[in-house]
Structure 1
Amino acid sequence: MLFGIEWDATNSWTLAVSIFPILLHGLWVTLQATVLGFFIAVVLGLVLAVLKAAPTRLVSWPTRLISEFLRDTPLLIQLFFLYYVLPEFGIVLPAFLTGAIALGVQYSAYLSEVYRAGIEAVPIGQHEAARALNFAPTRTFTHIILPQAIPRIVPAMGNYLVSISKDVPVLSVVTVLELLNVATIIGDRTFNYLVPLSMVGGLYLIMTLLAAQGVKRLDMALPKTGIPLK
């Protein structure tokens, strides 16, 4: 019995039906971790992209080093650091929040490069026009450059959204009951791994296909051309 639900491991179909609600619980945790991790990555990635482009080397160089460190070290190490090392300094976070932060922090380094590519893809004339109209740099970036950069990078950001969802199972090492962790617990208790793991694979396939379709529709709906200066 898990989460108050009983199952019969002697029949595959009976087992599949009985454990489906349990897997849905794990799927919900996976979706929450994916959304929260992606949100952190999107926000922090933009901050890193802006800081790396700063004209002052005292700002840009340390930011580049931090970004490279995040990209070049495994997610598992970063997760262990947040979960096991931070408590030594008095910072204790729930396992779920720790995992979401670890996902967001690592992928923010990747998204910072995506932001950079999108910003550099905006025609230089947009910068010059804003400067000629005496726009403040902050207003130029937030009202002219960024709105044109984001539509260009939606497909790449969508790919990282899918990647984050597929990295959520790593959080099982810090006791987060996400989809794969729930499936392995069921396998341990029923001695039947084929059914739960096959169902997890199917659920992940459905989830990633829906996410990819949503990103595709969003990409088609967003304009790719320049916007009028106001």
Structure 2
Amino acid sequence: MKTEAGPYDFLPAAGTFSRGSVTLDVTNTLRHAIVTLALPPGATLDKSALCQQLGVSRFPVSEALARLAEEGLVDIAPQRGSTVSLVKIADVREYMLIRKGLEGEALRVLIGKHDAEVIAALHANMAAQREAASRDDAETFHQIDVDFHDVLFRAMRLTKVKAIIDKARANLDRARRLIITPRRLNHTIAEHQAIFDGILAADAPQAITAMRAHIDAVMVELFAFAQDHPSLFADGDAFTAEDNDFPFG
């Protein structure tokens, strides 16, 4: 007899997690579901249903939700339960400004070294982006997009800089996924190619300008999306065109 699907049947089934890392595994599983929008902004998190789906006790789920609350991905209200936090436009603005400064300077460090492994990795990454876009595979494309930027930091061993960007990434990834469309995929490929062209030419100003233009283009679309869909953002109702004060250029 076929059982009725539960509200979290997209999550791993009971028996998936090993005993020694249940809390960490549950945290990672829920984080992934939130970041990929499988659990969208504002969604209610039914702790009992989560326990049933994942086949775990209440403790690891409660601990996972507490950890995700610290990361700004979950809101926990006493006596009212937990929900997936809404994206904050103000936070996205700050995180993208951090990326704009750090990734530009990272390019300045990289360019001129013309590391053959980095060039090969970026060539392969660009090819993978085009292949994923041709299949309209937004999720795979997103992971390849993230890796494009990570290649730069891995090459220079800028672990502290990468750690700062990674800390901001979960909320940024949610916001960026909201605007993924076939058109945005193609624009991203063109923007990445412009950055890569600057690297290949060993032209730091060209590459940095392209990186800043790439981040600016994403912010323009995010601001427009926030104005059209304010309910998905914690500060969406208060956001107006006048708040679009990101330092473009």
Q: TM-score, normalised by structure 1?
A: 0.33
Larger radius of gyration: 1
Q: TM-score, normalised by structure 2?
A: 0.31
Q: Which of 1 and 2 has higher RCO (CA within 8 Å, sep 6+)?
A: 1
Query: Between Structure 1 and Structure 2, which shows a larger proportion of strand residues?
Result: 2
Query: Between Structure 1 and Structure 2, which shows a larger proportion of helix residues?
Result: 1
